[in-house]
Amino acid sequence: MAPNALLSGSKYSDSLAVVGISICTAIICEAISWLLIYRTTSYKTLRSSIDRAAKKLETMKTTSDAQKFTKKSKTKKIDRVETSLKESSRDLSLFKFKSGAVVALVLFAVFGLLNSLFEGKSVAKLPFVPISIVMKMSHRGLNGNDPTDCSMAFLYFLCSISIRTNLQKFLGFTPPRGAAGAGLFPMPDPKTN
């Protein structure tokens, strides 16, 4: 018996197909990100400046905590480093934006393909009855009243989030630790109020 015939006859074939396509999509998206972002010198420069500023800020804050007093010059230096860190983080987010648009197009195309392949078809069974808001997502587009049926959209969504995040960690493409709270819409600075 051929492996393809064995897989297509399996009761898990649809689920495995969605998970496999999700893995392939994550790899393709990270390859696109590597081509457009991670291999460029401007990304490497921005990342190193964020890492340096984060380390410098951390050492400045720990030494000021140890001294139990702050001078105006020390607070001005800390503010300058924080501002530099925020600007670099913002620049990094804008730099990643172009790749995000291409990745979004790939994800929409794959989602449309999967949606046409598995339209109205349950691809998995949930081991629990989800709460109503989750059931609206997990049962989207399915006929029938079995609340444990899982649609392709829900399984693909869960797989995409978990696989892509772990793949980014594995490949070392996670954002620098100093840029964690920053982005296009960072938290407001309490000192300015």
Pull the structure tokens for residue 57.
């800020």
Q: Looking at the domain assignment, is residue 139 inside a domain?
A: no
User: Is residue 22, in this structure, part of any structural domain at all?
Assistant: yes
Q: Would 186 be classed as within a structural domain?
A: no
**Which backbone phi and psi does 128 adopt, to 5 degrees?**
-150, 165
Across 7-16, 59-68, 145-154, which has the greatest mean pLDDT? 145-154
Domain with 93, as residue range(s), is: 13-120+152-179
The answer to the question of residue 54 being in a domain is yes
**For 4-8, 24-28, 151-155, which range has the lowest pLDDT when averaged over its residues?**
4-8
Which pairs with CB-CB distance under 8 Å and at least 24 residues apart come from 173-176?
173/30, 173/33, 173/34, 173/38, 175/92, 176/47, 176/50, 176/51, 176/54, 176/92
Residue 176 binned pLDDT confidence (cut-offs 50, 70, 90): low
Q: Which of 101, 90, 114, 98 is nearest to 176 (CA)?
A: 90
Mean pLDDT on 78-100: 85
> Is residue 71 a part of any domain in this protein?
yes
Portion of the chain with pLDDT greater than 90, in percent:
19
**Is the confidence at residue 2, as pLDDT, over 70?**
no
Q: Which helix (H) or strand (E) holds 65?
A: helix 41-67
Beta-bridged to residue 124, according to DSSP, are: 150
Please give the structure tokens belonging to residue 132.
Answer: 């109503």
- What distance in Å separates the CA atoms of residue 87 and residue 133, rounded to the nearest whole number? 38
Task: Encode pLDDT of 86-96 as tens digits.
Answer: 888 888 888 88
Which one has a higher pLDDT value, 103 or 72?
103
End-to-end CA distance of the chain: 71
Q: Is the pLDDT of residue 75 over 60?
A: yes
pLDDT at 70: 53
Report the domain count for the chain.
Answer: 1
37 falls within a domain: yes
- Would 101 be classed as within a structural domain? yes
In the predicted structure, residue 109 carries a pLDDT above the cut 80: yes
pTM: 0.72
Does residue 190 lie in a domain region?
no
Name residue, tokens 């009761």.
11
